[in-house]
Each structure stands twice: as structure tokens, then as C-alpha cells.
Amino acid sequence: MQRANLSTVSEFVLVGLSDAPEVRFLLFVLVLIIYLAAMAGNITILVATSTDTRLHTPMYFFLSNLSLLDILCPTVTVPKMLEALWLENKVISFTGCMFQLFFLIDVVGTEVFLLAVMAYDRYVAICHPLQYMNIVSMKLCAHLAIGTWVVGFFNSVLHTSLIFTLFFCNSNEIHQYYCDIPPVLALSCSPHYSRELVILTVAGVLGSSAFVVTLISYIYILLAILCMNTSESRRKAFSTCGSHLTVVCLFYGTTICTYVRPSSTYSPDQDRIVSMLYGILTPLLNPIIYSLRNKEIKCALRRVISQVRTAL
């Protein structure tokens, strides 16, 4: 981190938000509502999966981990965004920006691997149903979940250290509403081609590995569903993985548009729109998708709501 200390930039300014007061107020209200709704939805999923013993299965164990990530992801970025909109304080310290980017990459990286693990879980459940409980034990689930968090952590350490040991000496304006790899990397005035190549290579290898596991799992799942004898069996099998497949498509679609490209093609306006999708809307949509398409989750949520009403 010695080189980072030589940087003439001690703070950054987030300029991805509108300066018009009426627009700022509308954005503040909209973002706050979406954020609170995302928190409520994911906390409800966590409560339902932890309190209902019928949901103490591998599938819902991984779902609770996904809900936890969907709580952390917007919490890393949205509070600062709300502060900038309400108090017009768009300044973030060098250290604050570094930690914000670290936690963001950590959460996003962990979710990439978690979605691959969830795809593998659905593959075993549909393609090897009789051996499912023997293959996917709760001990294996715990190891896989811990593994996704550990890999996400070290991936984030690598990316953050490569970026924040660069030299920043010119503009300190980040054209985004939070600190992220493309806009921060664009501000460096030292050569960063080799580091960018390392970042893209590591992200490409890890991300593509997780994507290949997810893709192969769903190819086998699709073949297994097509080979089923009755339409009822196919419908039931698809209902167990349809929610996860929807979430996978939503997540990969937005993250690929943001990260899987060189910084020379960085477009602030495009990135702000895409980052809104995966940073705020995706954590809101995930619990909605799972609750709408999953009968067990809907029943558990009804029981939770009923208990809350009784307590009140």
C-alpha cells in the first residue's frame, strides 16, 4: 500500500447522481423504498428458512445464504447514495472508497460461486433424487457455503490491492454513485494495463469456472426433465429450479455487462443504469421470484406473517 500513500488524491467525489433538487428528492424516495423493500423481503426469507423446520434442507440453506448476500450488497452502496441525495455530501474518503469497493467485490464474487453451488444442488436433486440426501449432506452444504465466502474474500483482496496501489493524481470524480472497479480504474494516472489484465484474467477464470458449473448443471437438468414420462413430473421438476434459473440469468446478465470488458470501453451512463439493476433491483427481485414460484416458501411466509400478526 506504499504507492497508494503517494497519491495526491485523498478523497473521491461521487458524481453519478443528479444535482437537480427535485430529481434528487424523487431519487431519494425511490431508492429508499426499493432498499427497504429489498431488506424486508430478504430478512423475511431468512426468518422463514431459519424458523420453519420443513425448510431446513440444502436448497433453503443455500437460499438463506443468497438472501444474506442480497442484504449486504445494497447495504454496501445505498446508504452513501442516500446521504449524497439527502445531504448533498458526495465526498468519500480514499479509505472509505477502498473498503466500499472491497466489500462490493466480496459480495458479488461470493454470489457467483453460491449460484454455481445452488445449480449443482438442483442437478443432484433432479438427476439423482434417490441419492440426493447422501450426496448433498448438510455437512457438505456447510463446507460449500464456507468455501464460496472464502473464495469471494480472497478474490476481493486481490482485486482491491491491485487497484488501490495505483497512483491517483488527477481527477478525483467517480462517475458512479459508489466506488466500483471500472470508474476507479479510469481515474488512475499510472500505467495499469498489466493490472487490468490480471484483474480480467482472475475474474474470467473464476467467473467462467462458476458459470460452466452452472451451465453444465442446467444442461443435465434440462435433459432429465425432457426424459420424464409425465407432464406433471416435468412441471414439478422445473418448478424446483425455475426460480434459481431466473435469478442466475438476471445476475449474470447485469454483472457481465459491468465487469467483463476492458476499461477503455467504460461508459458512465450505461454503467449507472446496469449497476442500479444488480446493485438495488436484483436484491429486491430475488425474494419476489423465489416467493412467487415456490409453494413451500409461500406457505412458510404465510406462517411467518400469521405469527407476526398474532404477536402484534
Per-residue pLDDT averaged across 118-133, rounded? 89
Q: Is 284 among the domain residues?
A: yes
Taking the model in full, what pTM does it have?
0.84
Q: Is 102 among the domain residues?
A: yes
| CA 207/CA 251 separation, integer angstroms | 12
Task: Count how many domains the chain has.
Answer: 1
Name the CA dihedral angle for 267, 270, 275, 280, rounded to a multiple of 10 degrees. Answer: 150
Instruction: Give the three-state DSSP class for 93.
Output: strand
Q: Is 13 among the domain residues?
A: no
Instruction: Please return the burial class of 292, using the count of CB atoms within 10 Å of its CB with bins 0-12, 13-18 and 19+.
Output: exposed
Q: Is 116 among the domain residues?
A: yes
Query: 153 near 174, Cβ under 8 Å?
Result: no
pLDDT, residue 160, reads 92
Q: Is 5 among the domain residues?
A: no
Instruction: Tell me the three cell numbers of residue 144.
Output: 460449500
Q: In degrees, to the nearest 5, what angle opens at C-alpha 281 toward C-alphas 247 and 15?
A: 135
Name the CA dihedral angle for 103, 297, 256, 168, rounded to a multiple of 10 degrees. Answer: -10
Range of the domain at 109: 18-259+266-311
Report residue 173 CA to chain centroid gap: 25
Per-residue pLDDT averaged across 150-156, rounded? 93
- Mark 18-29 as b/e (b = at least 16 C-beta within 10 Å): eeeeeebeebbe
The CATH number of residue 270's host domain is 1.20.1070.10
pLDDT, residue 189, reads 80
Percent of the chain with pLDDT over 90: 23
Q: Is 272 among the domain residues?
A: yes
Q: Is 279 among the domain residues?
A: yes
| CA 308/CA 310 separation, integer angstroms | 5
80-119 per-position pLDDT tens digit: 988 888 887 888 998 999 999 999 999 988 999 999 999 9
274-306 per-position pLDDT tens digit: 666 667 888 888 888 877 667 777 777 777 777
Q: Is 6 among the domain residues?
A: no
Confidence grade of residue 37 (pLDDT, cut at 50, 70, 90): very high
